[in-house]
Amino acid sequence: MAVFDLQKQSLRELNAALHQQSTLLRAGEHADTDWEITNPRGSHAVAVGVDGPLKINVQGSVGYYCGGMNQSGQIHVHGSVGPGVGENMMSGSIRVTGDASQYAGATGRGGTLVIEGNASSRCGISNKGMDIIVRGNVGHMSAFMAQRGNLVVLGDAGDALGDSIYEAKLFVRGDVKSLGADCVQKEMRTEHLELLAGLLKTAGVRDVQPAEFNRYGSARKLYHFDIDHAEAY
């Protein structure tokens, strides 16, 4: 295992090393695949742009954009994260042991983001295909303009959940303070229970059942023009 101490070495050196090892792996050459990052001390942009199957353990809390643009990496933060964790992630996984600040998983296109604590406002904003599982609560405007992907919340959701949502699927076990524009509660059919069971299994959640959740999604009235309601556009 490669150990990188951010108290002794710079963030630029860390990300350059991770990118170098990712390049070696894609070329089929030998590389260090297991990494432990110590003393992050709230550093921003830790492990940004990883594009190879590296396993990265961050021992402590980090700042904003941790794991941004991740592709194939498996990142585990043993602490909390600042804004934008997993922003524009393409594939791979990020697990956060603690809490996440606002817009966690923003514009994510793929992969899985697991937050074992709470997430703040705008969790999953403009999601384009990522799976996000939050064991705690999410804040207001979560899944705003979410286009694809799934958001699973084991706790409660704040105001305006799913505002202006497209085709993402939202599963909430707790209470929803309010739904955003064009977001409605939907029937939980067999295929949704099966989908949710798979998401919970991937996240390592074994103490709840899919039937305990409600499903929310788009009423499909905002993105289909209706001449009879032209004044509303």
Please tell me the predicted confidence (pLDDT) of residue 221: 86
Residue type at 46 in one-letter notation:
V
- Contacts made by residues 33-39, CB under 8 angstroms, sequence distance 24+: 34/1, 34/2, 35/1, 35/2, 35/3, 35/4, 36/1, 36/2, 36/3, 36/4, 37/4, 37/6, 38/3, 38/4, 38/5, 38/6, 38/7, 39/5, 39/6, 39/7, 39/8
Q: What does the pLDDT profile of the chain (233 residues) look like in tens digits?
A: 999 999 999 999 999 999 999 999 988 999 999 999 999 999 999 999 999 999 999 999 999 999 999 999 999 999 999 999 999 999 999 999 999 999 999 999 999 999 999 999 999 999 999 999 999 999 999 999 999 999 999 999 999 999 999 999 999 999 999 999 999 999 999 999 999 999 999 999 999 999 999 999 999 988 776 767 666 55
pLDDT score for 230: 64
Domain 2-232 carries which CATH code? 2.160.20.60
Joined tokens for residue 170: 């939202």
The side-by-side arrangement of strands in the sheet containing 2-5 is: 2-5, 34-38, 55-59, 74-77, 93-96, 112-115, 128-134, 148-153, 169-172, 214-218, 183-186
SS3 state at 24: helix
Query: What are the domain boundaries of the chain?
Result: 2-232
Rounded to 5°, the CA angle 49-52-57 comes to 75
The pairing of beta strand 169-172 with beta strand 74-77: unpaired
pLDDT of amino acid 229: 64
28-62 core/surface letters (b: 16 or more CB in 10 A; e: else): eeebebebebeebeebbbbbbbbbbbbbbbbbbbb
Q: Residue 232 has what pLDDT?
A: 58
Q: What is the pTM of this model?
A: 0.95
Q: Which of 67, 141, 139, 64 is nearest to 108 (CA)?
A: 67
